[in-house]
Amino acid sequence: MQQNEDYVLKVLQDVGLVSRKQIDAARKRLNGQDKVLDVLIKDGLVSESDVSRSIAAQAHMDWIDLSAMIIPPDIIKQIRAEDARRFKVIPVSFGETGLVVAVSDPLDIDTIDSLSFLLQRELELVCSSPEKIREALIKYYGTADEAADIIQEKIGEDVDLGLEIGDGAAIAEADEGDAPIIRLVSMLIIEAHRAGASDIHLEPLDKKFRVRFRIDGVLQEMQSPPKRLQSAIVSRLKIMTGSMSIAEKRLPQDGRIQVKIKKKPLDLRVSTIPTNHGESVVMRLLDKSSLTLGLPELGFLSDDQETFERLIQLPDGIVLVTGPTGSGKTSTLYACLNYVNKPDRKIITVEEPIEYQMTGINQVQVNSEIGMTFPAALRSILRQAPNIIMIGEIRDLETASIATNASLTGHLVFSTLHTNDAPSAVARLIDIGVQPFLVASSLRAIMAQRLVRRICPHCRQPAELSETEMRALRIESGQLQDAQVMQGKGCEQCRGTGYKGRMGIFEIFVLDDEVRHMINKRSSTLNLRQRARELGMRTLREDGIRKVLNGLTTAEEVISITIGDVS
């Protein structure tokens, strides 16, 4: 109220915290929304604590520092969370005549009377600053607005967020009571994007709703929302997908969310699964800007890049990318498609799900529920006369057979397979049921890959390899003469980890006539690997060593990622 503000300004002037000249100057700068007090606080002439202390002294009330207190749970329970947030009060203790309650504005008689009437009891008032009240609210009750404020402080105020559901339509207006949840979810997404996270994990624990971001392949725990907001946050995410049921909490569900951050599109693939403490949610962030990555950005050194560029421009055959889940196979395939995407070529992909939507490419979504399986889609797209086919993953004999036949009839096929190294892909295809002579005839090359963290460019500094690391990587002292071994010191840019971003390490196996003859004879993986080494194939660890000596990653990363590679 204006009357209250005038009174407060007079009190501040009387105690000497501000002058009449400062008040008049602040009043001239009002923009129609701020109050004079707000301007004075923003200018640093007075603090919220100064204001509340002065008012408390004038009203002959005690002033307390809530941050220095531990309030027992039985006291907190005296006022419901929604009432404490609405009236901006905190119960402190039991007094002689009633409940002791901390307020930030003792002059707001209407609010105090309303709270007393609601609780049906006498209140004893003490004063604290609005800032201390806000901190106590999230500490003892937890509010979505306050949780969002904490995240907002980290990412700054210059946020332009527009949320859209799958079909591009704007999300309907929410009830006023839902606004804090909407803001909290929006802030989580923004912070994950700013941090360069690939996934957001929302995990219900016994007494906590844990939030973790996967940044450069490593999970990092973030500020967790209050446990009591768990159900509301999960429901909000389901609503944003436009396809998931908020009533179904017993079965896994999948959906997709489209958002825009500063006008840039970002897709989120959402998955929920029921656990013993509620629904666990994982969101994969799919940044469309990563589609513009070229082959050098994937981590290829010049000689491997030249080899791989030659392979993906072959007129026919199968080029496989192998590795475990999370090794960057899909990103590599999209980079390949981006490289070969020319107006004179027709490219069709079969994916489950479609992770990125690419201009100029026909992408087919697999949907097993309606019979749109990998084999069914492949049989149909061959009648579309494509030049290049990308299959998300070869999982069964029928898919493998169609891919093989397509490659033998003049199509270039890109696909992925789950094997630990490149030569093992041959045995995997034969185990699936593909005849060895078809494998030998169709395969052109196999590339195994892993992801290692890049050294942060902002805090990188020269380093030395320890004797243990040199033994583990089998590096001779002579190899260090022209090396540029680096490490990250840790800075704000990399959140103190010393790493920022990831890159691939690769094992490229190009088949020749002798290798095809060995496949026909069902030679062992060990023999195929020996022949690949004779043809010049570097193992994953050897490629990693090259990148350590070039100052791109660390020995620790390469050792941990290639722990099974002892060749």
The string of pLDDT tens digits covering residues 349-370 is 988 877 777 888 899 988 877 8
In this prediction, residues 534-542 reach a mean pLDDT of 93
Residues facing residue 416 across a β-bridge: 321
Tell me the three state secondary structure of residue 322.
strand
Task: Name the H helices within 99-171.
Answer: 109-119, 130-140, 144-155
182 is written with which tokens? Answer: 């909407």
- Name the least confident of 69-73, 205-209, 471-475: 69-73
237 is written with which tokens? Answer: 């995410």
Pairing state between β 486-488 and 278-287: unpaired
Q: Annotate 294-354 with DSSP letters as a single string.
A: -HHHHT--HHHHHHHHHHTT-SSEEEEEE-STTSSHHHHHHHHHHHH--TT--EEEEESS-
Q: Annotate 215-272 with DSSP letters as a single string.
A: ETTEEEE-PPPPGGGHHHHHHHHHHHHSSS-SS--SS-EEEEEEEEETTEEEEEEEEE
pLDDT band of residue 143 (cuts 50, 70, 90) is low
Mean pLDDT, rounded, of the chain: 84
Identity of the residue numbered 12 = L
pLDDT of residue 152: 57
Output the CA torsion 224→227→233→238 (10° steps). 110
The CA-based angle 311-317-323, given to 5 degrees, is: 65
Q: Annotate 425-464 with DSSP letters as a single string.
A: HHHHHHHHT--HHHHHHHEEEEEEEEEEEEEPTTTEEE--
In this prediction, residues 469-487 reach a mean pLDDT of 87
160 is written with which tokens? Answer: 């332009």
In this prediction, residues 371-390 reach a mean pLDDT of 87
